[in-house]
């Protein structure tokens, strides 16, 4: 069956995030991952499983029916919010590649906690995801 890694990630996007980045994340949240025109090349989108890496999970609830939630903040129409709670066979490090891709577009303070990954054979020890101390 193989081993799975769980990822929980939550962030706000910078107000100057490119429309192609917003479009890529919107595709995920709609269950239709795509590479929009104008999206800068990145290793994440060359990974074999990039379309499904964020699409699987056993975490659906009545308030969260999909692994990727992406929406505009009602109080600030220039602020996009993103929550991902998924699990996948992360053998090719798709989660790490996704995090490398998204970090330059995240609006956070250095060292701010953004989530975790948890490999199912690690005895319950999560790897924390924080905004890089040097920025992204």
83 exposure class (CB count in 10 Å sphere: 0-12, 13-18, 19+): middle
Domain count, the chain: 1
108 domain-assigned = yes
pTM for the model: 0.89
The answer to whether position 30 is within a domain reads yes
Asked if the structure places residue 51 within a domain, the reply is yes
What does each of the 136 residues of the chain score in pLDDT, given as a tens digit?
Answer: 568 889 999 999 999 999 999 999 999 999 899 999 999 899 999 998 899 889 887 665 556 668 899 999 888 877 899 999 998 888 899 999 999 999 999 999 999 999 999 988 766 789 999 999 875 5
For residue 19, tell me if it sits in a domain.
yes
Q: Is residue 29 situated within a structural domain?
A: yes
Domain-embedded: residue 1: no
* Containing structural domain, residue 24: 10-124
């Amino acid at each position: 069956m193989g081993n799975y890694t769980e990822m929980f990630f939550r962030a706000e996007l910078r107000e100057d995030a490119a429309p192609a980045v917003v479009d890529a994340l919107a595709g995920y949240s709609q269950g239709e991952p795509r590479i929009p025109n104008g999206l800068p090349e990145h290793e994440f989108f060359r990974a074999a499983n990039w379309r499904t890496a964020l699409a699987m999970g056993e975490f659906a609830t009545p308030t969260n029916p999909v692994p990727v939630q992406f929406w505009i903040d009602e109080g600030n129409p220039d602020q996009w919010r993103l929550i991902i709670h998924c699990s996948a066979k992360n053998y090719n490090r798709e989660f790490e590649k996704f995090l490398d891709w998204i970090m330059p577009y995240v609006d956070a303070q250095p060292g701010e906690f953004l989530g975790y990954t948890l490999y199912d054979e690690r005895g319950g020890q999560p790897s924390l995801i924080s905004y890089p101390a040097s920025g992204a």
